[in-house]
Amino acid sequence: MANLFAQPAEGASLIEVALTKMKRAIVCCELAPGSKLKVEALSKAYDLSSSPIREALNRLAQEGIVNASDNKGFRVAPLTVEDFHEISRIRSLLEGEALSDAMQYGDDAWEGDVLAAFHRLSVVEKRLGPGPVALDDEWSERHKAFHFALFSACPSPLLLNMIDSLFDRAERYRRYSALHRQTERHKSNEHQVLMKAVLAREQEKAVKLLRKHIDHTKDSIGDTLARQLATLQ
């Protein structure tokens, strides 16, 4: 599981440093959707040469959060309701499979990791109170860690890598939505009910709850996004 909010690892290549910093800036909407990404300006901002910046931008294009054009260079990928719905649909399919596998193969240590991840998420939610938790880096980090604790016993690295990439793409929509909506949807009860079903090894129920959880997010963020994009037209 990639951590968007961690500093680049010691000894990381310049490409990895550029990739980590720019991905976080895009996901957190510090680099606005649709904005032009000028290599020279990014090189100056991150104190890196143009070569790692260009390679990182190409990798981010492969992840779907940057658009690359031979004629127009690089831009932050726009946000659209259709794209978010598609991300949510594929997340639902893949995460359901990963959760089923994890419940089949998970052992006592996996159950302990799930409980610990839920506790860490609950602690930060209590500290933050009723505000927009999705804008808090620590909450976002622990929220992702909880979800990936659920999947962690899944034996397929390919499946988990695909889920990781989609989760980060969805995080950009969560952040944008939280910046523009008036009320915050709190998910702690949904997380607890899901966790209990997972630990009880109620496979069908747990997968249904996970997919319902993703659908709730899709509907809430999709509505906010549609209203905000309508004001920009």
Looking at residue 192, what is its pLDDT?
Answer: 95
Looking at residue 131, what is its pLDDT?
Answer: 65
* pLDDT tens digits along 133-151: 778 889 999 999 999 999 9
Region 28-48: mean pLDDT is 93
Looking at residue 2, what is its pLDDT?
Answer: 72
Q: How confident is the model at residue 72 (pLDDT cuts 50, 70, 90)?
A: confident
pLDDT higher at 194 or 72: 194
Region 206-230: mean pLDDT is 91
Walk me through the domains of the chain, giving residue ranges and CATH numbers.
14-76 (1.10.10.10), 81-232 (1.20.120.530)
Looking at residue 35, what is its pLDDT?
Answer: 94
Looking at residue 119, what is its pLDDT?
Answer: 97
Range name among 27-41, 127-141, 151-165 with the lowest pLDDT average: 127-141
Q: If DSSP codes are grouped into helix, strand and coil, which group holds residue 7? A: coil
Cβ(170)–Cβ(88) under 8 Å? yes
Cβ(21)–Cβ(4) under 8 Å? no
User: How far apart, in whole angstroms, are the C-alpha atoms of residue 29 and residue 167?
Assistant: 15
pLDDT, the chain, mean? 90
pLDDT higher at 187 or 89: 89
DSSP 151-181: HTT---HHHHHHHHHHHHHHHHHHHHHHHH-
pLDDT higher at 212 or 233: 212
Region 95-116: mean pLDDT is 98
User: How far apart, in whole angstroms, are the C-alpha atoms of residue 29 and residue 173?
Assistant: 9
160 pLDDT above the threshold of 80: yes
Q: What share of the chain is helix, strand, coil (3-state, %, to 5)?
A: 70, 5, 25
pLDDT higher at 188 or 179: 179
Global pTM reads 0.89
